[in-house]
Amino acid sequence: MELKNQKITMDDFINVRKEVLKTWQTGAQIADFDKCIEYASSVPKNKNFALKLKSAKMNHIVLIQPRAGVALVEDQIQLLQYLETEGEADLLPVTIDSYTRQNRYENCSLGIQESLRLCRSMLNGFPAVNHGIAGCRKLQESLTMPLQARHGTPDARLLSEIIHASGWTSNEGGGISYNIPYSKDVSLEKTIRDWQYCDRLAAIYEENGIPINREPFGPLTGTLVPPSMSNAIAIIEALLAATQGVKHITVGYGQCGNQIQDIAAIKALELQTDEYLHHYGFLNIVTTTVFHQWMGGFPKDEAKAYGAIANASVTAALAKVTKVIVKTPHEAFGIPTKEANANGLKCTKMVINLMEDQRAYMSKKLQEQVEIIKAETKCILDAVFEVGKGDLAIGVIEAFKRGILDVPFAPSIHTANKILPARDNYGAVRYLDAGNVPLSEELLNYNRFMLEKRAKLQKREVSFQMTVDDIFAVSEGRLVGRPERK
Amino acid sequence: MELKNQKITMDDFINVRKEVLKTWQTGAQIADFDKCIEYASSVPKNKNFALKLKSAKMNHIVLIQPRAGVALVEDQIQLLQYLETEGEADLLPVTIDSYTRQNRYENCSLGIQESLRLCRSMLNGFPAVNHGIAGCRKLQESLTMPLQARHGTPDARLLSEIIHASGWTSNEGGGISYNIPYSKDVSLEKTIRDWQYCDRLAAIYEENGIPINREPFGPLTGTLVPPSMSNAIAIIEALLAATQGVKHITVGYGQCGNQIQDIAAIKALELQTDEYLHHYGFLNIVTTTVFHQWMGGFPKDEAKAYGAIANASVTAALAKVTKVIVKTPHEAFGIPTKEANANGLKCTKMVINLMEDQRAYMSKKLQEQVEIIKAETKCILDAVFEVGKGDLAIGVIEAFKRGILDVPFAPSIHTANKILPARDNYGAVRYLDAGNVPLSEELLNYNRFMLEKRAKLQKREVSFQMTVDDIFAVSEGRLVGRPERK
Amino acid sequence: MNGKTVVIGVIGSDVHAVGNKIIDYALTHAGFKVVNVGVLSSQEDFINAAIETNADAIMVSSLYGHGEIDCQGFRDKCNESGLDNLILYIGGNIVVGKQDFVEVEARFKNLGFNRVYAPGVKIEAGIEDLKKDLNIKE
Amino acid sequence: MNGKTVVIGVIGSDVHAVGNKIIDYALTHAGFKVVNVGVLSSQEDFINAAIETNADAIMVSSLYGHGEIDCQGFRDKCNESGLDNLILYIGGNIVVGKQDFVEVEARFKNLGFNRVYAPGVKIEAGIEDLKKDLNIKE
Ligand code: B12
Ligand code: B12
């Protein structure tokens, strides 16, 4: 069957489903789809992720959500309960471990055993597939806040089946955003198809009266991704999800660090997501936004990490995103303790509360940056539709082949790896080399101009060394990389 | 001799000086004024507070400065060395203990003894007068950053003599700002006169080639002071200082919490300080600004305290003040350990660095708030000059008597205590009751209107209970007080 | 009005006025007669006010860190003045720095205070205790 | 070019690619021949590349926390493949969470690594050590 951006038929879905459930033993437990839906229906509405986001959007409230995952069910329960109460989290995640993400469930079994034996988590997340609906439902039932799976799984079909059947009402990911930054050589054909399945699955729950939220992973590699590139990909994944019938979509963006550019990017993303959805006939979708606190290398010093966390929170509050994904003071070292995790949340909550009745006001500068990001994004999306000859799924495949879509610093061989980003003198991320990204002459000149300005001020050439300096800058305590430090 | 805003003659100065030096035994060591100046001249220029501020202003750099004071010289040296190196402080303070502030030097002696005996500081600051030039010079010589005395001393004449004679190149305070928030029943006549002396002293050093920075204490009681009131007082103290010949003045402002209002207040303060100085013929004064991180009750939770600290730092960075006075995660409890102090600094430094190439851009809202603060400040200052019949010192006395100048929550009986502040729905501090502050009808209406808006949204009356709720709000984790919490 | 009189104030060279104003407001609202000696008050100021008004309790505030020095001998002075059974509370930020509160409490109980409050404990808690200690029924 | 060959890559199910690209860039600039097996690489991927290119050292990166599991038996497998004296380094965020590094280092030395690097130690430090261990003069 040829890949196309169209709704999967129920027959096709059921056929694929049978195969998916066979890929690990816990799949058998959810063979009866109606029972899954029945269970999901029984979850109280105040634990519904999609509804909580919708109401936050309507009330201009910014919600906060941590990352958190450990190997064992009981530990995961304790961890998330702690983050609910002590951490004041509004939404809960289950961060899935990296073996599950690669569908290596045997490794997970080993990890679970070793964790039991050594009494510390040997996995960097929660192996939801191995725990099956027994563990996943128990977890959900032990908590009072809505639950979401957060992962990075190219083929998340079985995982998605198990979590929704356990009453988790949100799933992060997408055919691009959980492929390019998260794998080396998985084809986009396969991941787009597999995520069409995940989207269709969410939509079937929705059609059965259980709102399910889907969240494309906005930050991609988290490393100097120009806003227009991540926005374009978020909008594409929103359209792909909508095509499968998804009704609750959260588009995301990872902080770049220049406050004006970040606010502009969020505004552009909100506007253009709705514009494109409407243009393609999707009129009744609830779109919300998520802002990721700085996703690149973090400073090791905890006080400085707090500074980075709170600074990001101010931007989120000013941009009035629907939710913020929170980092912790342990970020530079490793998976945080539950205390460090709660501390990141409390620091964020404080800032969000202090700023709850405040927002960014439009200035000429902000308007300008919104326009630039929108224009760049439009150049990219126009080209994607063009090379897809009207079909978005095909367009994506073609666009990646040609470098129209291109993600910097990605592990995947399926991105052209031709663009090079760098910060301008104000810290905004620009295209140092746009590779084959089809920006207009004017936009290319603007990007170039802004970087030349930095080069002049820093008395050096525009070059890859700038990019390298920028990669280390934040972890070394500043935003814009410097040629040499004294 | 009648109080007037005019330069103290050298004769008068010398006469008073003799009396001042007698008030405690360490005064005798500095009887020879020329020797004091000689010593001060020998301090390297890179340790000059005034020059460092000037160069920061020219380069749009935001400097950071902690508070820090302990009882013993050796401990103070260790503390400040730690804050220089580990804390990355740009400017150093010596926070003076509360007995010295009340000129109770015998109590200080007891505090020093007890501190030696118990091996922990029993004083909340450094008793500089008791340590005399021996201790104060040793301290200054052990450090590489410029030193400032920070206190709250109504009569700081002896203290000022000792610190400048020890090569400390900045002195905080003023006849209003170190009286009204710091004493109960000291007359303004006396404190203005005593601070004219301190200003004249600084100016004499300046005239002898040693730039000395003077900093009126901006935040006053740190508790819901409307920006126009603190700005008016800062400008008055700048004018009083300039009259005595002071050339380096840092006007200050304590964060209120609404970002737009705070940035507007700084902009208004910068503009109007220069306007008034120029208008009264002071053309060659270097004015710089200081922003105090939240000065009211702090949250006890350290992660939340970091949130408050970093949020304030973002405002400071956007407003591009010359320096920031930094709080610590221990604020709600007590004098911080040196580690906690360094952590507050590092958190602040991180934010300042992340935002170093960014600033606030003008929006309609910001422009509006600048105009309002300027207009309110002008109403106040016009009235002060009027009731002083042209003499600013007399104007201040009269204005406080009549409630034209009025500081909320002050301990002093010499402020009318008639104004009541409260936050509007966006967290900006407004006049709930302007008392006798002569705001124009239009401005009174604006203040009232903004508070009515909050009252309506919170479904209650505009009342003192709002103020009470606002006093506790930040320490309880939000900015605007709420009628009831569930 | 519940007929009980409380002397409040801030001891020593301490000028923190905000909490004092709030305490005045809260005690008055709770029905007490409040005698406020204000900031910068000596032990004598408190004791004289208590004698003059025949007070039932003294609530000392100390915010600035010198509480330990300022309160030396307070109870003895009360006893000498014939205020033997007077209830004595203290609260605020009563020592220098962030110290272990159990120890701090013990030190101040030793100085003769009946109740000792940790930083940021709100006055409402003190009022509850006072009602208990003075047998005031709601 | 200094004539020495280093195999680099990220072990296990780990996709953190940024550091790997930086290491490639830095080693190349420092004169090494770099063989980059990239992210998501198994022990075999590293060993095969080392055999094929007759490498002098392997620099393993592990960022995602599973390093301890992924590296079990690595040195044995090297020995089995005849790479007995091969220099073996590892760096990144090699264990789960913020752990005492002295202990972590010991565990990985036990696994046969010659040098073990703490989180955020930059590649420049590794290059210095490598020059020492391979007797490369500047
Ligand atoms: C960016 C990032 C991501 C990006 C990666 C994009 C990509 N494909 O490259 C995304 C968002 C996709 C991501 C995903 C995940 N990440 Co991540 N990520 C980071 C982050 C923030 C920065 C990493 C980075 O790029 N640094 C910049 C580069 C230049 O530095 P570096 O990688 O450290 O490498 C330098 C040095 O370490 C050293 N070095 C490295 N290897 C070696 C080897 C030798 C021999 C020597 C001498 C030196 C050396 O030299 C390098 C250059 O100077 C770090 C935390 C941090 N450091 O702040 C977390 C972090 C590495 N991630 C982590 C985790 C858990 C994950 C996820 C499992 C789950 C999640 N949180 O989403 C997934 C993993 C998916 C997978 N299967 O691997 C954890 C690892 C936890 C642990 N070890 O306990 C970290 C530490 C965050 C945390 N505290 O939880 N991540
Ligand atoms: C605002 C403030 C100031 C203002 C005060 C303005 C004024 N005149 O009132 C200014 C800026 C002038 C100031 C000056 C100083 N301050 Co000050 N200040 C504060 C701050 C930030 C808030 C205090 C406040 O108003 N809180 C709000 C009110 C409503 O709460 P409260 O005072 O705590 O009172 C409540 C409770 O404690 C309780 N309570 C109080 N007393 C009692 C008694 C009983 C019996 C009971 C039951 C309850 C109770 O009920 C009250 C109402 O709910 C605190 C730190 C903090 N808490 O966040 C530092 C703090 C109190 N200050 C401190 C210090 C050291 C000073 C200075 C010496 C030096 C300096 N840092 O500048 C000078 C002191 C001058 C002097 N001689 O006293 C320290 C004290 C250190 C310590 N104990 O170890 C603190 C803790 C800050 C710190 N961490 O360093 N300060």
Does residue B337 line the site of ligand 2, with CB under 6 A? no
| Range from B124-133, B371-380, C77-86 carrying the lowest mean pLDDT | C77-86
pLDDT value at residue C137: 81
For residue B104, the chain C residues in CB contact (below 8 A) are 13
D96 falls in which pLDDT band (50, 70, 90)? confident
Q: Give the range among B295-299, B303-307, D39-43, D81-85 with minimum mean pLDDT.
A: D81-85
Mean pLDDT of B147-155: 97
- Per-residue pLDDT tens for A361-403? 999 999 999 999 999 999 999 999 999 999 999 999 999 999 9
Percent of chain A surpassing pLDDT 70: 99
pLDDT value at position A121?
A: 87
User: Does residue C129 belong to any structural domain of this protein?
Assistant: yes
- How many angstroms separate the alpha carbon of residue B190 from the centre of ligand 1? 63
Ligand number, closest to the Cα atom of B70: 2
H/E stretch holding B105: helix B105-118
Q: Which token pair is D47?
A: 């060993």
The answer, yes or no, to whether any atom of ligand 1 lies below 6 A from the CB of A255, is: no
Q: Read off the tokens for C96.
A: 């220098």
Give the gap in angstroms from C-alpha A219 to the nearest C-alpha of chain B.
19
Residue D20 and residue D117 in contact, taking contact as beta carbons nearer than 8 Å: no
Amino acid identity at A379? C
B120 and C CB contact within 8 Å: yes
Ligand nearest to the CA of D90: 1
C67: Cβ below 6 Å to ligand 2?
A: no
pLDDT band at B486 (very low <50, low <70, confident <90, very high): very low
Structural domains of chain A, ranges and CATH numbers in brackets: 10-354 (3.20.20.240), 418-486 (3.90.970.10)
CB distance from B138 to chain C under 8 Å?
Answer: no
Atom of ligand 2 nearest to the CA of C119: 37
Interchain contact, C39 vs B330, CB within 8 Å: no
The percent of residues above 70 in pLDDT, for chain B, comes to 99
Cα–Cα–Cα angle for B16, B22, B24, nearest 5°? 130
H-assigned helices in D1-138: 18-29, 43-53, 67-70, 74-80, 101-110, 123-133
The answer to whether residue D93 sits within a structural domain is yes
Of these residues, D14, D24, D56, D70, which one is catalytic?
Answer: D14
Residue C138 within a domain? no
Q: Which ligand gives the minimal distance to the CA of D22?
A: 1
User: What's the gap in Å between B180 CA and the centre of ligand 2?
Assistant: 16
Which helix (H) or strand (E) segment is A339 a member of?
helix A338-354
Q: Do D and C touch (≥3 CB pairs < 8 Å)?
A: no
Give B148's strand partners.
B93, B170
Of B259, B314, B346, the CB nearest to A301: B346
The whole-angstrom separation of Cα A412 and Cα A395 is 18
* Spatial distance between the Cα atoms of B452 and B459, rounded to a whole number of angstroms: 10
- Shortest-distance Cα residue to atom 32 of ligand 1: D19
Inter-chain touch A354–B306, beta carbons under 8 Å: no
Domain, as residue range, for C60: 5-133
- What is the count of residue pairs from A and B with beta carbons less than 8 Å apart? 160
Question: pLDDT digit string (tens) for B436-452?
Answer: 999 999 999 999 999 99
Chain C CB contacts of B110 below 8 Å: 69
Query: Contact, C8 vs C59, CB < 8 A?
Result: yes
ipTM of this complex: 0.96
Chains with 3+ CB–CB pairs under 8 A to A are B, D
Query: C120–B297: do the CB atoms touch at under 8 Å?
Result: yes
A432: enclosing H helix or E strand = strand A429-433
Give the gap in angstroms from C-alpha C59 to the nearest C-alpha of chain B: 18
* Interface contact flag, D66 A124, Cβ < 8 Å: yes
Phi-psi region of C49 (alpha: psi -120 to 50; beta: other; left: phi over 0): alpha
| Any ligand 1 atom below 6 A from CB of D106 | no
* Ligand 1: centre distance to CA D129 (Å): 22
What is the pLDDT, as a whole number, of residue B172?
Answer: 98
Cβ-nearest to D13 among A101, A121, A223: A101
Counting beta carbons within 10 angstroms of the beta carbon of residue B448, is it exposed (0 to 12), middle (13 to 18) or buried (19 or more)? middle
Report CB contact under 8 Å: B354, A306. no
Closest to B122 (Cβ–Cβ): which among C25, C69, C99? C69
Task: Burial-class residue B274 by CB neighbours within 10 Å (0-12, 13-18, 19+).
Answer: middle
Amino acid at B84: E
CA angle B350, B352, B355 (to 5 degrees): 105
For residue D22, give the amino acid letter: I
CB contact under 8 A, B350 and A477: yes
A183 min Cα distance to partner chain D (Å):
6
Task: Check CB contact under 8 Å for A307 and B347.
Answer: yes
Q: When comparing pLDDT for D1 and A334, which is higher?
A: A334
Residue B1 pLDDT > 90:
no
Identity at A45, one-letter amino acid code: K
For chain C, the chains sharing at least 3 beta-carbon pairs closer than 8 angstroms are B
Does the beta carbon of C65 lie inside 6 Å of ligand 2?
yes
Catalytic residue list contains A441: no
Residue D138 placed within a domain: no
Instruction: Write out chain C residues lying below 8 Å of B68, CB-based.
Output: none
**Nearest CA, atom 37, ligand 1:** D92
Instruction: Measure CA B368 to chain center.
Output: 26
For residue C65, being part of any structural domain is answered with yes
Q: Residue B394: pLDDT band by 50, 70, 90 thresholds?
A: very high
- How close is the Cα of C31 to the center of ligand 2, in Å? 26
Q: How would residue B484 be classed by pLDDT, with cut points 50, 70 and 90?
A: low
Q: Do A300 and D120 touch (CB under 8 A)?
A: yes
3-state class (DSSP) for residue A388: coil
Residue A486's pLDDT is: 38
- Sign of the torsion angle spanned by Cα atoms B322, B328, B333, B337: negative
D66 is catalytic: no
Report whether residue D14 contacts ligand 1, using a CB cutoff of 6 Å.
yes
- Find out whether A194 and A238 touch, Cβ atoms under 8 Å: no
**Band of pLDDT at residue B25, cut at 50, 70 and 90:** very high
Among A70, A98, A180, A185, pick the best mutation site for testing chain D contact (most D Cβ within 10 A). Answer: A98
Quote the CA–CA distance of A386 and A394 in Å, as a whole number: 10
Yes or no, beta carbons of A102 and D40 under 8 Å apart: yes
pLDDT, residue D138, reads 67
Task: Give how many domains chain D has, as a whole number.
Answer: 1
* Ligand 2 atom nearest residue B101's Cα: 77
| Closest CB to A471 among D13, D22, D99 | D22
- Would residue D97 count as lying in a domain? yes
Using H for helix, E for strand and C for coil, what is the string for B169-200? CEEECCCCCCCCCCCCCCCHHHHHHHHHHHHH
Neighboring chain A residues of D120 at a CB cutoff of 8 Å: 297, 300, 332, 475
Within-domain flag for C69: yes
pLDDT tens by residue, A48-99? 999 999 999 999 999 999 999 999 999 999 999 999 999 999 999 999 999 9
Q: Is A471 in the pocket of ligand 1 (CB under 6 A)?
A: yes
Per-residue pLDDT of chain A (486 residues; tens, 9 = 90+): 689 999 999 999 999 999 999 999 999 999 999 999 999 999 999 999 999 999 999 999 999 999 999 999 999 999 999 999 999 999 999 999 999 999 999 999 999 999 999 988 889 999 999 999 999 999 999 999 999 999 999 999 999 999 999 999 999 999 999 999 999 999 999 999 999 999 999 999 999 999 999 999 999 999 999 999 999 999 999 999 999 999 999 999 999 999 999 999 999 999 999 999 999 999 999 999 999 999 999 999 999 999 999 999 999 999 999 999 999 999 999 999 999 999 999 999 999 999 999 999 999 999 999 999 999 999 999 999 999 999 999 999 999 999 999 999 999 999 999 999 999 999 999 999 999 999 999 999 999 999 999 999 999 999 999 999 999 999 999 999 988 643
Residue D108 lies in a domain: yes
- CATH classification of the domain holding C96: 3.40.50.280
